[in-house]
Amino acid sequence: MTKSKASAQAAHPLTLIPGPVEFTDEVLAAMATPSQSHVSPQFVEVFGDALALLRQLFFNTDKRAQTFAIAGAGTLGWDFVSANLIEPGEDALVLHTGYFADSLADCIATYGGKPTQLKAPIGDIVTLDAIETALKEKKFKVVTITHVDTSTGVLSDIKSIAALVRAVSPETLVIVDGVCSVGVEEIRFDDWDLDLVLTAPQKAIGVPAGLSIFIASGRALDVFRARKAPPTSYYASFAKWLPIMQNYEAKKPSYFSTPPVQNIHALLASLKQILAVPLADRFAAHARMSDRIKATIASYGLKQVAVREGYQANGMTAVYLPDGVALPDLLPRIASRGIVLAGGLHKEIATKYFRIGHMGVSVTDEDREDFDKALAAIKESLAEAGYTI
Protein backbone atom coordinates (compact mmCIF):
# COMPACT_ATOMS: atom_id res chain seq x y z
CA MET A 1 0.00 0.00 0.00
CA THR A 2 1.34 3.40 -0.97
CA LYS A 3 0.54 6.94 0.05
CA SER A 4 2.02 9.82 -1.92
CA LYS A 5 4.01 12.40 0.00
CA ALA A 6 1.86 15.05 -1.69
CA SER A 7 -1.52 13.39 -1.20
CA ALA A 8 -4.03 13.26 1.62
CA GLN A 9 -5.58 10.09 0.20
CA ALA A 10 -5.64 6.90 2.22
CA ALA A 11 -2.89 4.42 1.45
CA HIS A 12 -3.88 2.29 -1.54
CA PRO A 13 -2.31 0.26 -4.34
CA LEU A 14 -1.03 2.56 -7.07
CA THR A 15 -3.11 2.21 -10.22
CA LEU A 16 -0.57 2.51 -13.02
CA ILE A 17 -2.54 1.06 -15.91
CA PRO A 18 -3.54 2.78 -19.18
CA GLY A 19 -6.62 4.14 -17.40
CA PRO A 20 -8.13 4.72 -14.97
CA VAL A 21 -5.15 6.51 -13.47
CA GLU A 22 -4.47 8.05 -10.09
CA PHE A 23 -6.52 11.15 -9.26
CA THR A 24 -5.55 14.34 -7.45
CA ASP A 25 -7.02 15.24 -4.09
CA GLU A 26 -8.75 18.24 -5.66
CA VAL A 27 -10.50 16.10 -8.26
CA LEU A 28 -11.71 13.61 -5.66
CA ALA A 29 -12.92 16.47 -3.47
CA ALA A 30 -14.88 17.85 -6.42
CA MET A 31 -16.51 14.43 -6.89
CA ALA A 32 -17.84 14.85 -3.35
CA THR A 33 -19.78 18.00 -4.27
CA PRO A 34 -23.16 17.91 -2.50
CA SER A 35 -26.30 17.34 -4.50
CA GLN A 36 -26.98 20.20 -6.87
CA SER A 37 -29.61 20.92 -9.49
CA HIS A 38 -28.32 20.50 -13.02
CA VAL A 39 -30.08 23.73 -14.01
CA SER A 40 -29.00 25.79 -11.00
CA PRO A 41 -27.00 28.96 -11.70
CA GLN A 42 -24.06 27.47 -9.81
CA PHE A 43 -23.90 24.32 -11.91
CA VAL A 44 -24.55 26.13 -15.18
CA GLU A 45 -21.47 28.23 -14.44
CA VAL A 46 -19.36 25.14 -13.72
CA PHE A 47 -20.51 23.30 -16.85
CA GLY A 48 -20.01 26.32 -19.07
CA ASP A 49 -16.49 26.85 -17.75
CA ALA A 50 -15.61 23.17 -18.29
CA LEU A 51 -16.78 23.24 -21.91
CA ALA A 52 -14.78 26.41 -22.54
CA LEU A 53 -11.62 24.94 -20.98
CA LEU A 54 -11.98 21.82 -23.11
CA ARG A 55 -11.47 24.08 -26.12
CA GLN A 56 -8.09 25.07 -24.67
CA LEU A 57 -7.17 21.42 -24.14
CA PHE A 58 -7.89 20.73 -27.81
CA PHE A 59 -6.22 23.96 -29.04
CA ASN A 60 -9.53 25.16 -30.45
CA THR A 61 -10.62 28.76 -30.93
CA ASP A 62 -12.96 28.31 -33.92
CA LYS A 63 -16.40 28.75 -32.38
CA ARG A 64 -18.05 26.87 -35.23
CA ALA A 65 -16.75 23.78 -33.45
CA GLN A 66 -18.39 22.57 -30.26
CA THR A 67 -17.12 20.71 -27.21
CA PHE A 68 -19.30 18.06 -25.55
CA ALA A 69 -19.25 16.35 -22.15
CA ILE A 70 -22.04 13.80 -21.82
CA ALA A 71 -22.84 11.08 -19.31
CA GLY A 72 -21.42 7.83 -20.63
CA ALA A 73 -18.15 6.08 -21.43
CA GLY A 74 -15.54 7.07 -23.97
CA THR A 75 -17.06 4.36 -26.15
CA LEU A 76 -20.15 6.54 -26.52
CA GLY A 77 -18.08 8.81 -28.74
CA TRP A 78 -17.99 6.02 -31.33
CA ASP A 79 -21.78 5.94 -31.29
CA PHE A 80 -21.93 9.69 -31.89
CA VAL A 81 -19.66 9.31 -34.91
CA SER A 82 -21.51 6.30 -36.28
CA ALA A 83 -25.03 7.58 -35.69
CA ASN A 84 -24.53 11.18 -36.80
CA LEU A 85 -21.71 11.48 -39.33
CA ILE A 86 -22.10 8.24 -41.29
CA GLU A 87 -25.36 7.36 -43.01
CA PRO A 88 -26.34 3.74 -43.65
CA GLY A 89 -24.44 2.37 -46.62
CA GLU A 90 -21.65 4.96 -46.49
CA ASP A 91 -18.02 3.88 -46.35
CA ALA A 92 -15.59 4.44 -43.48
CA LEU A 93 -11.84 3.82 -43.58
CA VAL A 94 -10.71 2.50 -40.19
CA LEU A 95 -6.96 2.63 -39.59
CA HIS A 96 -6.10 -0.40 -37.49
CA THR A 97 -3.21 -0.34 -35.01
CA GLY A 98 -4.76 -2.67 -32.44
CA TYR A 99 -7.82 -3.93 -30.61
CA PHE A 100 -9.82 -0.72 -30.60
CA ALA A 101 -10.05 -0.39 -34.37
CA ASP A 102 -11.95 -3.69 -34.45
CA SER A 103 -14.40 -2.33 -31.89
CA LEU A 104 -14.86 0.99 -33.68
CA ALA A 105 -15.45 -0.83 -36.98
CA ASP A 106 -18.06 -2.97 -35.24
CA CYS A 107 -19.78 0.16 -33.93
CA ILE A 108 -19.86 1.73 -37.41
CA ALA A 109 -21.36 -1.45 -38.86
CA THR A 110 -23.95 -1.57 -36.08
CA TYR A 111 -25.37 1.75 -37.33
CA GLY A 112 -25.35 0.65 -40.97
CA GLY A 113 -22.02 2.08 -42.11
CA LYS A 114 -19.56 0.05 -44.17
CA PRO A 115 -16.16 -0.06 -42.45
CA THR A 116 -13.00 -0.99 -44.34
CA GLN A 117 -10.11 -1.77 -42.04
CA LEU A 118 -6.57 -0.94 -43.11
CA LYS A 119 -4.52 -3.13 -40.80
CA ALA A 120 -0.95 -2.65 -39.66
CA PRO A 121 1.14 -5.57 -38.41
CA ILE A 122 0.92 -5.92 -34.64
CA GLY A 123 2.94 -3.13 -33.03
CA ASP A 124 3.32 -1.11 -36.22
CA ILE A 125 1.62 1.86 -37.87
CA VAL A 126 -0.50 2.14 -40.99
CA THR A 127 1.79 3.86 -43.48
CA LEU A 128 0.89 7.06 -45.31
CA ASP A 129 1.40 5.29 -48.63
CA ALA A 130 -1.16 2.64 -47.71
CA ILE A 131 -3.62 5.31 -46.60
CA GLU A 132 -3.15 7.29 -49.80
CA THR A 133 -3.74 4.20 -51.93
CA ALA A 134 -6.95 3.38 -50.06
CA LEU A 135 -8.26 6.94 -50.35
CA LYS A 136 -7.68 6.93 -54.10
CA GLU A 137 -9.50 3.62 -54.58
CA LYS A 138 -12.78 4.57 -52.91
CA LYS A 139 -14.69 7.57 -51.58
CA PHE A 140 -14.85 7.40 -47.79
CA LYS A 141 -17.20 9.46 -45.66
CA VAL A 142 -14.79 9.30 -42.71
CA VAL A 143 -11.30 8.15 -41.83
CA THR A 144 -10.90 7.01 -38.22
CA ILE A 145 -7.56 7.01 -36.41
CA THR A 146 -6.84 5.54 -33.00
CA HIS A 147 -4.26 8.07 -31.84
CA VAL A 148 -2.87 5.71 -29.20
CA ASP A 149 -4.17 2.18 -29.30
CA THR A 150 -4.25 1.10 -25.68
CA SER A 151 -3.76 -2.54 -26.67
CA THR A 152 -0.38 -1.98 -28.36
CA GLY A 153 0.98 1.40 -27.29
CA VAL A 154 1.29 2.44 -30.95
CA LEU A 155 1.13 6.22 -31.51
CA SER A 156 -0.26 7.33 -34.88
CA ASP A 157 0.82 10.56 -36.56
CA ILE A 158 -2.56 12.23 -36.85
CA LYS A 159 -1.10 15.52 -38.08
CA SER A 160 0.43 13.88 -41.15
CA ILE A 161 -2.56 11.60 -41.74
CA ALA A 162 -4.97 14.54 -41.58
CA ALA A 163 -2.85 16.54 -44.02
CA LEU A 164 -2.85 13.58 -46.41
CA VAL A 165 -6.62 13.19 -46.21
CA ARG A 166 -7.12 16.89 -46.93
CA ALA A 167 -4.83 16.64 -49.97
CA VAL A 168 -6.30 13.45 -51.44
CA SER A 169 -9.94 13.42 -50.28
CA PRO A 170 -10.75 16.82 -48.77
CA GLU A 171 -14.42 16.07 -48.10
CA THR A 172 -13.60 13.02 -45.97
CA LEU A 173 -14.02 13.69 -42.25
CA VAL A 174 -11.02 12.98 -40.01
CA ILE A 175 -12.09 11.26 -36.79
CA VAL A 176 -9.61 10.70 -33.95
CA ASP A 177 -10.09 8.28 -31.08
CA GLY A 178 -8.04 10.12 -28.47
CA VAL A 179 -9.16 8.15 -25.42
CA CYS A 180 -5.57 7.26 -24.48
CA SER A 181 -3.93 10.39 -25.85
CA VAL A 182 -5.81 13.57 -24.94
CA GLY A 183 -3.86 15.30 -22.18
CA VAL A 184 -0.63 13.43 -23.01
CA GLU A 185 -0.07 13.87 -26.74
CA GLU A 186 -0.28 17.10 -28.69
CA ILE A 187 -3.56 17.46 -30.61
CA ARG A 188 -4.08 20.78 -32.39
CA PHE A 189 -7.68 20.53 -33.47
CA ASP A 190 -7.87 23.73 -35.51
CA ASP A 191 -4.35 23.79 -36.95
CA TRP A 192 -4.47 20.16 -38.06
CA ASP A 193 -7.97 20.57 -39.53
CA LEU A 194 -9.54 17.69 -37.60
CA ASP A 195 -13.26 16.97 -37.53
CA LEU A 196 -13.92 15.08 -34.32
CA VAL A 197 -11.70 14.04 -31.43
CA LEU A 198 -13.24 11.86 -28.76
CA THR A 199 -11.86 10.92 -25.38
CA ALA A 200 -12.69 9.78 -21.86
CA PRO A 201 -11.84 11.42 -18.53
CA GLN A 202 -10.26 8.54 -16.62
CA LYS A 203 -6.97 8.57 -18.48
CA ALA A 204 -4.68 11.60 -18.82
CA ILE A 205 -7.47 14.06 -17.99
CA GLY A 206 -7.45 12.45 -14.54
CA VAL A 207 -11.16 12.31 -13.66
CA PRO A 208 -13.18 9.23 -12.64
CA ALA A 209 -14.94 7.49 -15.51
CA GLY A 210 -18.47 8.51 -16.44
CA LEU A 211 -18.14 11.06 -19.24
CA SER A 212 -17.92 10.92 -23.01
CA ILE A 213 -15.89 13.97 -24.04
CA PHE A 214 -15.41 15.14 -27.61
CA ILE A 215 -15.11 18.12 -29.90
CA ALA A 216 -16.77 18.33 -33.33
CA SER A 217 -15.73 20.74 -36.07
CA GLY A 218 -18.02 23.13 -37.89
CA ARG A 219 -17.53 21.01 -41.00
CA ALA A 220 -18.61 17.85 -39.14
CA LEU A 221 -21.68 19.60 -37.77
CA ASP A 222 -22.55 20.82 -41.27
CA VAL A 223 -22.29 17.24 -42.52
CA PHE A 224 -24.66 16.21 -39.76
CA ARG A 225 -27.12 18.96 -40.65
CA ALA A 226 -27.08 17.82 -44.29
CA ARG A 227 -28.08 14.23 -43.44
CA LYS A 228 -30.77 12.71 -45.61
CA ALA A 229 -32.22 10.83 -42.65
CA PRO A 230 -32.39 11.51 -38.91
CA PRO A 231 -29.53 10.23 -36.71
CA THR A 232 -29.82 6.54 -36.00
CA SER A 233 -29.56 6.89 -32.22
CA TYR A 234 -31.89 8.64 -29.81
CA TYR A 235 -29.41 9.37 -27.00
CA ALA A 236 -26.26 9.70 -29.14
CA SER A 237 -27.75 12.41 -31.31
CA PHE A 238 -26.28 15.77 -32.24
CA ALA A 239 -29.85 16.95 -32.78
CA LYS A 240 -30.50 16.41 -29.08
CA TRP A 241 -27.14 17.39 -27.59
CA LEU A 242 -25.73 20.21 -29.71
CA PRO A 243 -28.18 22.87 -28.43
CA ILE A 244 -27.66 21.64 -24.86
CA MET A 245 -23.90 22.10 -25.05
CA GLN A 246 -24.22 25.45 -26.80
CA ASN A 247 -26.58 26.68 -24.10
CA TYR A 248 -24.45 25.50 -21.20
CA GLU A 249 -21.33 27.08 -22.67
CA ALA A 250 -23.33 30.31 -23.03
CA LYS A 251 -24.22 29.94 -19.30
CA LYS A 252 -27.89 29.17 -19.98
CA PRO A 253 -29.65 26.27 -18.24
CA SER A 254 -30.78 23.55 -20.60
CA TYR A 255 -32.11 20.01 -20.48
CA PHE A 256 -32.30 16.87 -22.54
CA SER A 257 -30.93 14.26 -20.13
CA THR A 258 -29.54 14.88 -16.66
CA PRO A 259 -25.78 15.49 -16.75
CA PRO A 260 -23.54 13.83 -14.13
CA VAL A 261 -23.16 16.89 -11.92
CA GLN A 262 -20.32 15.60 -9.75
CA ASN A 263 -18.30 14.37 -12.71
CA ILE A 264 -18.58 17.78 -14.35
CA HIS A 265 -17.35 19.44 -11.15
CA ALA A 266 -14.40 17.03 -11.14
CA LEU A 267 -13.74 17.71 -14.82
CA LEU A 268 -13.54 21.44 -14.19
CA ALA A 269 -11.20 20.92 -11.22
CA SER A 270 -8.88 18.78 -13.34
CA LEU A 271 -8.93 21.09 -16.36
CA LYS A 272 -7.96 24.02 -14.15
CA GLN A 273 -4.99 22.02 -12.85
CA ILE A 274 -3.95 20.85 -16.32
CA LEU A 275 -4.17 24.31 -17.87
CA ALA A 276 -2.39 26.06 -14.99
CA VAL A 277 0.87 25.23 -16.79
CA PRO A 278 1.59 25.41 -20.52
CA LEU A 279 0.39 22.30 -22.32
CA ALA A 280 3.78 22.05 -24.01
CA ASP A 281 5.34 21.55 -20.58
CA ARG A 282 2.81 18.85 -19.75
CA PHE A 283 3.50 17.00 -22.98
CA ALA A 284 7.25 17.27 -22.37
CA ALA A 285 6.92 15.85 -18.85
CA HIS A 286 5.06 12.83 -20.19
CA ALA A 287 7.63 12.35 -22.95
CA ARG A 288 10.47 12.40 -20.39
CA MET A 289 8.74 9.84 -18.19
CA SER A 290 7.96 7.68 -21.20
CA ASP A 291 11.61 7.75 -22.28
CA ARG A 292 12.72 6.81 -18.78
CA ILE A 293 10.32 3.88 -18.49
CA LYS A 294 11.06 2.56 -21.96
CA ALA A 295 14.82 2.82 -21.40
CA THR A 296 14.55 1.03 -18.04
CA ILE A 297 12.40 -1.73 -19.52
CA ALA A 298 14.98 -2.16 -22.29
CA SER A 299 17.75 -2.36 -19.68
CA TYR A 300 15.84 -5.30 -18.16
CA GLY A 301 16.12 -7.04 -21.54
CA LEU A 302 12.41 -6.62 -22.35
CA LYS A 303 10.92 -5.53 -25.68
CA GLN A 304 8.00 -3.25 -26.45
CA VAL A 305 4.98 -4.26 -28.50
CA ALA A 306 5.18 -0.94 -30.40
CA VAL A 307 8.12 -1.48 -32.71
CA ARG A 308 8.81 1.90 -34.35
CA GLU A 309 10.76 4.57 -32.52
CA GLY A 310 8.84 7.82 -32.72
CA TYR A 311 5.55 5.94 -32.91
CA GLN A 312 5.40 4.77 -29.31
CA ALA A 313 2.90 6.30 -26.91
CA ASN A 314 4.06 8.75 -24.26
CA GLY A 315 1.30 7.78 -21.84
CA MET A 316 1.71 4.02 -21.76
CA THR A 317 4.11 1.21 -22.59
CA ALA A 318 3.17 -2.30 -23.73
CA VAL A 319 5.91 -4.79 -22.79
CA TYR A 320 6.45 -8.35 -23.98
CA LEU A 321 7.03 -10.90 -21.23
CA PRO A 322 10.42 -12.62 -21.22
CA ASP A 323 10.61 -16.30 -22.11
CA GLY A 324 9.62 -18.51 -19.22
CA VAL A 325 7.51 -15.88 -17.43
CA ALA A 326 3.71 -15.84 -17.71
CA LEU A 327 1.27 -13.11 -16.66
CA PRO A 328 0.07 -15.12 -13.63
CA ASP A 329 3.73 -15.40 -12.58
CA LEU A 330 4.34 -11.67 -12.80
CA LEU A 331 1.33 -9.40 -12.23
CA PRO A 332 0.31 -10.82 -8.82
CA ARG A 333 3.91 -10.41 -7.61
CA ILE A 334 3.89 -6.79 -8.75
CA ALA A 335 0.48 -6.28 -7.11
CA SER A 336 1.83 -7.65 -3.82
CA ARG A 337 4.24 -4.71 -3.88
CA GLY A 338 1.37 -2.22 -4.10
CA ILE A 339 1.53 -1.62 -7.86
CA VAL A 340 -1.36 -2.44 -10.21
CA LEU A 341 -0.36 -2.97 -13.85
CA ALA A 342 -2.48 -4.28 -16.72
CA GLY A 343 -2.31 -7.50 -18.67
CA GLY A 344 -2.42 -7.76 -22.44
CA LEU A 345 -5.51 -6.79 -24.42
CA HIS A 346 -4.75 -7.45 -28.09
CA LYS A 347 -6.55 -10.73 -28.76
CA GLU A 348 -3.71 -12.22 -30.83
CA ILE A 349 -1.01 -11.69 -28.18
CA ALA A 350 -3.00 -11.07 -24.98
CA THR A 351 -1.11 -13.61 -22.85
CA LYS A 352 2.30 -12.49 -24.04
CA TYR A 353 2.62 -8.99 -22.64
CA PHE A 354 1.69 -6.49 -19.93
CA ARG A 355 1.01 -2.76 -19.94
CA ILE A 356 2.16 0.19 -17.84
CA GLY A 357 0.20 3.44 -17.78
CA HIS A 358 2.24 6.58 -17.18
CA MET A 359 0.00 9.61 -17.38
CA GLY A 360 -1.62 12.25 -15.24
CA VAL A 361 -0.68 13.18 -11.71
CA SER A 362 1.70 10.23 -11.30
CA VAL A 363 3.83 11.91 -13.96
CA THR A 364 3.27 15.61 -13.36
CA ASP A 365 3.54 15.71 -9.55
CA GLU A 366 7.28 15.88 -8.88
CA ASP A 367 6.77 14.92 -5.24
CA ARG A 368 5.43 11.50 -6.19
CA GLU A 369 7.67 8.49 -6.62
CA ASP A 370 5.14 6.24 -8.33
CA PHE A 371 7.42 5.04 -11.11
CA ASP A 372 10.46 4.57 -8.91
CA LYS A 373 8.28 2.09 -7.03
CA ALA A 374 6.77 0.58 -10.16
CA LEU A 375 10.05 -0.05 -11.94
CA ALA A 376 11.57 -1.53 -8.80
CA ALA A 377 8.52 -3.76 -8.35
CA ILE A 378 8.79 -5.00 -11.94
CA LYS A 379 12.49 -5.80 -11.53
CA GLU A 380 12.03 -7.58 -8.20
CA SER A 381 9.00 -9.52 -9.46
CA LEU A 382 10.80 -10.67 -12.61
CA ALA A 383 13.61 -12.00 -10.42
CA GLU A 384 11.11 -13.81 -8.17
CA ALA A 385 9.52 -15.34 -11.27
CA GLY A 386 12.93 -16.76 -12.28
CA TYR A 387 14.02 -14.22 -14.86
CA THR A 388 17.61 -13.02 -14.67
CA ILE A 389 18.20 -9.42 -15.76
Binding residues for substrate: 355
Q: In a 10 Å sphere around its CB, with 0-12 CB exposed, 13-18 middle and 19+ buried, how is residue 98 labelled?
A: buried
Give the residue ranges of the annotated binding site.
355
Neighbours of 356 (CB within 10 A): 25
SS (H, E, C) the chain: CECCCCCCCCCECEECCCCCCCCCHHHHHHHCCCCCCCCCHHHHHHHHHHHHHHHHHCCCCCCCCEEEEEECCCCHHHHHHHHHCCCCCCEEEEEECCHHHHHHHHHHHHCCCEEEEEECCCCCCCCHHHHHHHHHHCCCCEEEEECEECCCCEECCHHHHHHHHHHHCCCCEEEEECCCCECCECCCCCCCCCCEEEECCCCCCCCCCCEEEEEECHHHHHHHHCCCCCCCCCCCCHHHHHHHHHHHHCCCCCCCCCCCHHHHHHHHHHHHHHCCCCHHHHHHHHHHHHHHHHHHHHHCCCCECCCCCCCECCCEEEEECCCCCCHHHHHHHHHCCCEECEECCCCCCHHHEEEEECCCHHHHCCCCCHHHHHHHHHHHHHHHCCCCC
- Count Cα atoms within 13 angstroms, Cβ side, for 232: 19
Q: Which residues, including other chains, have CB under 8 Å from residue 27's CB and lie 6 or more apart?
A: 206, 207, 208, 266, 269, 270, 273
